[in-house]
Amino acid sequence: MQVGMQTDKGRVRPDNEDFCWAEPPWFAVADGMGGHAAGEVASRMAIETIKEMMTQTDKVTSEQLSKAVEEANRRIWHASRNTLEYAGMGTTLTVVYLAPSHAMVAHVGDSRCYRLRNQKLQLLTFDHSVVAELVRTGTLSEREAEHHPQRNFLTRALGTSPHVEVDIFREDIAPGDLYLLCTDGLTAVLEHERIETILSGIPTPEAAATQLIAEANAKGGPDNITVVLVQVPPAVGQS
């Protein structure tokens, strides 16, 4: 399994509040929010909770993964209530577990998971944001959503309330599939078609990750940018 992972603070923000993790078969990104260093604490706490609770188990189930995300939520919520500097902190979290036969995805917030298959890029997660909900109900068009002043407002995040609803689903795996996990610092500035072109045209996940970060920064790098790319091995006989 080939992996490319990069995180960059972009060209505007003073700190990087994103956090990422790639330890096959586990992959995750988290985009923290909160004053001072609190966003960094929240995103790290989310991923470290998943790591602690999931990497010791023999058989991974969606119930266990869902429980681990709920536990991450609880820990961040309690830290934000008990420590003044952490008040109001929260984070997105998108986790992929890549088993031999399927991928399991757990997701809260507006980070994303995409899959490139046969050079077509498909978004697998749904953004938990005010604007995405408005697009889903037909109140806003995709175009209007791109420039909407509330496009960063989340309807779900980890750590901002005592309970969280977790999206969790399975996807089949095909040889050669390429998974992309990313924070909104990428998707706010690079269009779907551009990401598809980069991923289709660059042979290694490491080089594709470098290119995605470079293009997001070339577009102003207004936010922290994080990408995790995982390539499922091609079928035997293919290259």
Q: How far is the CB of 47 from Ca ion (least distance, A)?
A: 15
Cβ neighbourhood burial of 89 (10 Å; 0-12, 13-18, 19+)? buried
218: left (phi over 0), alpha (psi -120 to 50) or beta: alpha
Give whichever of 80 and 111 is closer to Ca ion, judged by the CB atom: 111
Q: How far is the CB of 111 from Ca ion (least distance, A)?
A: 8
Which candidate, 24, 62, 25, 31, places its Cα nearest to that of 47? 31
Q: How far is the CB of 217 from Ca ion (least distance, A)?
A: 14
Q: Tell me if 223 contacts Ca ion by CB under 5 A.
A: yes
DSSP letters of 51-69? HHHHTT-SS--HHHHHHHH
Q: How far is the CB of 185 from Ca ion (least distance, A)?
A: 5
Stretch that binds Ca ion, among 29-37, 47-55, 61-69, 171-179 (CB under 5 A): 29-37
Q: Which of 184, 189, 205, 216 binds Ca ion (CB under 5 A)?
A: 184
Q: What is the chain's length? A: 239
Which residues pair with residue 12 across a beta bridge? none
- Three-state SS at 190: coil
Give whichever of 185 and 205 is closer to Ca ion, judged by the CB atom: 185
Give whichever of 159 and 185 is closer to Ca ion, judged by the CB atom: 185
Give whichever of 225 and 230 is closer to Ca ion, judged by the CB atom: 225
Q: Evaluate the CA torsion angle 200, 123, 163, 16 in order and state its sign.
A: positive
Residue 1: CB atoms within 10 A of its CB come to: 12
- Write out the binding residues for Ca ion, residues 122-141 only, by CB under 5 A: none
Q: Tell me if 177 contacts Ca ion by CB under 5 A.
A: no
- Residues contacting Ca ion: total by CB under 5 A: 5
Q: Which residues of 207-232 are buried (b: 16+ CB within 10 A; e: fewer)?
A: ebbbbbbebbbeeebebbbbbbbbbb
Q: Tell me if 110 contacts Ca ion by CB under 5 A.
A: no
Q: How far is the CB of 161 from Ca ion (least distance, A)?
A: 20
Give whichever of 112 and 115 is closer to Ca ion, judged by the CB atom: 112
Give whichever of 9 and 232 is closer to Ca ion, judged by the CB atom: 9
Give whichever of 183 and 217 is closer to Ca ion, judged by the CB atom: 183
Q: Which of 5, 19, 31, 227 binds Ca ion (CB under 5 A)?
A: 31
DSSP-derived secondary structure letter, 156: -
**Given the rule CB under 5 A, which residues bind Ca ion?**
31, 183-185, 223
